[in-house]
A and B are shown apart, each in its own frame.
Chain A
């Protein structure tokens, strides 16, 4: 069964304290892995798409990487405005084209 597991569930960082969020996945065939940011009461906001092992994407203080079994979202020198829930999702090559989401990592960056 296709599955996505994110860790940690919650993370508190001091402003400027870099860290990484993990997304482990099991999927029959990977079409794409997606990272989204979600603020309370809002819809997920697209961050990155990764398609193959070894691929990396960067945007401001965020960098996403992909291996055959997991993805990492690295946050460098975070700011309080980076506080949000970060969701990881995979899309399989077979069957429907649905996204399978993890439960997310709730990030809180303290000033």
Chain B
């Protein structure tokens, strides 16, 4: 079975630009969460979605937004990129995000220059 897949694996953007990151969960998983991991730190929670509804949001500015589609895939959008947005963005999927643990993808490495 395929695991959590994220695309792209790497990308470089310029300050002020917009970026869209994509995630396909494990088949049958209905919950997707997004995390930001800055080098040398643990992952920080950004969003959680379940059945296309936002269930939780971390302490990130409104420049960050996300959505989940009917097929349970998800997009993370970041507007007006800042240098500090450079990080590994991780997507994780779970059957329900509450009673079952999360499986993480390999992440998207975003570099803002």
Measured CB to CB, the residues of A under 8 A from B are: 4, 31-32, 34, 36, 41-46, 49, 87, 89, 95-104
The answer to whether A97 touches B98 (Cβ under 8 A) is yes
Interface hits, B66-108 → A, CB 8 Å: 88, 90, 92, 97-98, 101-107
The answer to whether B48 touches A97 (Cβ under 8 A) is yes
Q: How many residues in B have their beta carbons less than 8 Å from beta carbons of A? A: 27
Q: A97-B56, A98-B58, A104-B42 are in contact. Are A46 and B103 (CB under 8 A)?
A: yes
The answer to whether B104 touches A45 (Cβ under 8 A) is yes
Bound-complex Cα distance A52 to B76 (A) = 34
Q: A44-B90, A96-B55, A98-B56 are in contact. Are A34 and B41 (CB under 8 A)?
A: no
Q: Which residues of B have CB within 8 Å of A34?
A: 101-102
Bound-complex Cα distance A87 to B102 (A) = 14
